[in-house]
Amino acid sequence: MPDSSERLLARTRRRLALFTLLLVAALLVVVSLTTILIGLQILDSNVNQAVETAARSAVAQLDGSIPTATGDGEGDTNEHAPASSDTIVLVLGPDGQLVANTSRIKAAGLPDGAAARAAAASGQDLRTVTAGGLPVRLFTLPVISHEAPAGSAPVGYVQAGFVLTLHDRQEQELIAAILLAALVGLVGAGLVTVVVTGRALVPIRAAFAHERRFVAGASHELRTPAALIRASAEVLERERLVSEEGRPFVQDIVGESDRLARLVGDLLTLSASEAGGITVERESVDLAEVAGDATRRAAPLAAENGLTLTLREGPAGPSPALPVLGDRQRLIQLLMILLDNAFRHSPAGGTVTVAVARVGARAEVTVSDEGPGVPKEARERIFEPFARLPASRAGEQGSGLGLAIARAIAERHDGTVRVDDAPGGGARFVFGMPIR
C-alpha cells in the first residue's frame, strides 16, 4: 500500500489536476459561448444585410411607383418552390396585396400584412415569419411616390425574404463544431494536466525520499548518544556521585533520555514503514486476545493518569475469538498507540473503553475516549506524520508520529484505521483487518 507521503503526493496531484481542469473548463466555456454568440451574430447580420440590400434595390428600381398586377403575381405557373437559401422579392400594393413576384419563387403565406403595416408606421420592418412551413427572414420597406407631399401614405411596399433553412443548419453546425472543439480541448487539457502534474511532483517525491533517508540516518546516529546519556545518568544516580539536591535533575535526564529514545524509535519505525521496510511476521493470532493483552499492559498507565480502562465484553460473556493473520507484537504496538492517544486526550477521571467485534468478514477493535473528539476536517490529517491536535491534558502533547505509525502497521496487515465520534462524546478509533 502507498505510504503517507505517496498518499499526500497523490492527493496533491489530484487537487492540482482538478483545479487546473476547472480553470481550463471555465476558460473553454467562456471562449465557446463567446465564439458561438459572435458566430450567430455574424450569420444573422449577413442574412439581415442580404434582405435589406434586396429590398432597397427593388425599391430603387420601382422609382416611387407601383406597377399594375402582372403575370408575376401570385399563382404564376412559372414559380418554383423555394430552396434552402433563396431570396424572395415581392411588390405589394398600398392595401398590402401582392402585385408582383419578381423572384418567381412560391411564397405561400406571403405577403405579410402585419409587416407592411409596421413598415408604414416606422419606415421599415424586420422580422422572422413562417411561409409555406419554412422560416423566412422578412424585410419590408414602404414605397413613397416622388410626387407625393411629405408625410403621404406609401403607394406600395417591397418585401424581401430570405429562406433560413440553410442559415439554421449552419447555426447548428457552428454550435456543434465549437462544442466538439471545446470537448476535445478539455480532454487534451486533461491529458496534458495529468502528465504535467506528474512531472511537477517528481522533484517533490525525490525530496520526500531524501528526507526519509536523512531521518533514518539521523535517527540511527541519535540512538547511541541517547543511550549513553541515559546510562551515564543512571551511573551518577546509582553511585550517588551527585548531591541530594542534584538527584532530581539526574532523574529528569533519565526521563528525557527515555523520551528521546522513544522519539528516535518512532522516527525509525516511520522511516521504515514509508520505505516499505517495516517488518511484519505473520502468524495466526486471536485479535480479541491481542486486544485483551494490550489492555492489561496499558492498565497501569491508565491508573497513573487517573483514568478507568475497560475491555467491553460481548453480550454473552467474553468476546468471541477473532482469528487473523498478523504480527502479534506489531498489533499490540498499534493498539498501545491508540490507547496512549486516548489517555492523553481524556480528562482526569474519564473512561477509556476497548471493544472487539466481528463485522462481516472483518475483525474490529475500537478504542473510545471521553475527550474533545476529532473535528471532521482533521480526521485524515491526524494520521500524517507530525500532525497534532491540542491535547486536553496539560503537558501531554505527543510527538505526532504515533498515529502515522499505527496506520502504517494497519496497512501492512491489509487493515485500516479510522476515527469517528464516540457514542457518548469523544473520539473512537477503529482498527479493522480481515478475518482468516
In this structure, the number of other CB atoms found within 10 A of the CB of residue 257 comes to: 20
Domains of the chain as residue ranges with CATH: 61-167 (3.30.450), 203-274 (1.10.287.130), 283-434 (3.30.565.10)
Note if the pTM is more than 0.85.
no
Peptide bond preceding 111 in cis form (omega within 30 of 0): yes
Instruction: Provide the sign of the torsion angle of the four alpha carbons 286, 292, 295, 297, taken in this order.
Output: negative
Residue 214 has a pLDDT of 62
Print the SS3 string covering the chain.
Answer: CCCHHHHHHHHHHHHHHHHHHHHHHHHHHHHHHHHHHHHHHHHHHHHHHHHHHHHHHHHHHHCCCCCCCCCCCCCCCCCECCCCCCEEEEEECCCCCEEEECCCECCCCCCCHHHHHHHHHHCCEEEEEEECCEEEEEEEEEECCCCCCCCCCCCEEEEEEEECHHHHHHHHHHHHHHHHHHHHHHHHHHHHHHHHHHHHCHHHHHHHHHHHHHHHHHHHHHHHHHHHHHHHHHHHHHCCCCCHHHHHHHHHHHHHHHHHHHHHHHHHHHHHHHCCCCCCCCEEEEHHHHHHHHHHHHHHHHHHCCCEEEEECECCECCCCCEEEECHHHHHHHHHHHHHHHHHCCCCCCEEEEEEEEECCEEEEEEECCCCCCCHHHCCHHHCCCCCCCCCCCCCCCCCCHHHHHHHHHHHCCCEEEEEECCCCCEEEEEEEECC
Distance CA 201, CA 388 (A): 26
Question: Contact, 174 vs 36, CB < 8 A?
Answer: yes
Instruction: Provide the sign of the torsion angle of the four alpha carbons 259, 265, 267, 273, taken in this order.
Output: negative
Residue 272 has a pLDDT of 60
CA angle 74, 79, 81 (to 5 degrees): 110
Helix 402-412 vs helix 328-344: crossing angle, to nearest 10: 150
Residue 393 has a pLDDT of 47
Residue 74 has a pLDDT of 47
Residue 75 has a pLDDT of 47
Residue 223 has a pLDDT of 66
Residue 313 has a pLDDT of 63
| pLDDT per residue rounded down to tens, the chain (436 residues) | 455 667 777 878 888 888 888 998 999 999 999 999 999 999 999 999 999 999 999 999 998 888 876 544 444 556 777 888 889 999 999 988 899 888 888 877 888 999 999 999 999 999 999 988 889 999 999 999 888 787 788 999 999 999 999 999 999 999 999 999 999 999 998 888 888 888 877 887 777 666 666 666 666 566 677 777 878 888 887 877 788 888 888 887 877 777 677 667 666 666 665 555 567 788 999 999 999 999 998 998 899 889 999 998 654 445 568 899 999 988 998 999 899 889 988 888 999 999 999 988 999 999 999 988 888 888 888 888 766 665 444 444 556 678 888 888 898 899 999 999 888 788 999 999 999 8
Instruction: Provide the sign of the torsion angle of the four alpha carbons 284, 286, 291, 297, taken in this order.
Output: negative
Distance CA 408, CA 374 (A): 20
Cell numbers representing residue 420 in the block: 469517528
Residue 4 has a pLDDT of 61
Long-range contacts of 73-79 (CB under 8 A, 24+ apart): 73/98, 73/99, 73/100, 73/101, 74/98, 74/101, 74/107, 76/101, 76/104, 78/104, 79/104, 79/105, 79/106
Phi, psi of 130 (to 5 degrees): -110, 125
Pairing status of strand 351-359 against strand 308-312: parallel
Query: Cell 420601382 maps to which residue?
Result: 62
Residue 389 has a pLDDT of 64
Q: Note the Cα 423 to chain centre separation in Å.
A: 31
Residue 315 has a pLDDT of 46
Question: Contact, 260 vs 222, CB < 8 A?
Answer: yes
The pLDDT tens digits of the residues spanning 237-256 come to 787 778 888 888 888 787 77
Question: Contact, 413 vs 280, CB < 8 A?
Answer: yes
Helix 202-238 vs helix 247-274: crossing angle, to nearest 10: 150
